[in-house]
Structure 1
């Protein structure tokens, strides 16, 4: 309908705008090399900038393609997942991404919790939340991932002791290409699609995603339907894995 078309048009417009920035930088850098306006001493720096902008463009295109698949054609599996195992895999993946600055993650998981879902994308969503927490906290990083039962839901939370999300920016935090002032000030990498990515995955699981934030503490909460004891078996559906 009209709403879907408008959403698609907004997405294309946003992508076009975000692609233009690194493309403009790359074009200007190439022109400076081609026209011979640079001293030989400046060439290594320009080549380094060119490599950085190319990597930024590649990351942006990859994330856009992933998000587009999640929002349209990705088939989420409906497998029985042990929540403790999912959390452990998430922490292991996070540790692998942060080898240059290892950060212990506090783990608090209620035993015997299970949900129905797609393991690869759920792990990636939780890794995104941990990585966000890691990026936007200072040297004294305190990050916790927890999972508890709450009636019909399993709540998985990621809590950090970072600077918090400015109140004026909280309403748009899940929109595509949104990066808060704290994110920009921190110098952390990213293209502003991480939380859109998490939101798309949670929607694909028919779950809920929200957060609470104040200076010194932010908590993101993923709520997934708890697997009922009355469910004996779920027919698995093979999910197409996203590209790395």
Structure 2
């Protein structure tokens, strides 16, 4: 309804809000059930569905942050072209590409995880079904899943970080070339919230990914086993 909000940045913020809502809706109800109701089991198919939604919408959120970096780059480095470059059709195409990349690249995660035999344990050391945490439970050679997971992370988030870094290098060069300090601070202030979101998004995800891939599994996992994989999400 507000015509003042019909700008690319607000469209991207709207997409970011919707992505966050879906992402946390896919994990928060089960987390609350675990910690409030002690309901520590989840069906295997539901676990794989949760895996897909988690990684799919994480990839989308990363792509939206790249789109927001592009918007800031054009607005600061080429301000006279901002309204003519990032028009509604281009914004819609960017949003469509972000959604399709997330859906397509992440689709093999649950498909590959489903084919492995699970005979050692059905406990994962966190309250949601992350891809590598589920794959680590399989009693088979899961290098295909592990390698594809690394490829997916590099293809999506790794490249996104590179694009954001290049954009902000150009943005900072443009800011430091401004004539007065007051103008520099005011211009940089338009990017500060975006930078904070980037740090809050990528650093925890990187730490969790490294912990899942390289940390030793805690002892209680190796001592609990079932013949079939029927449940997960049991915090260690």
Structure 2 length as normaliser, TM-score? 0.32
Structure ranking higher in strand proportion: 1
Structure 1 length as normaliser, TM-score? 0.31
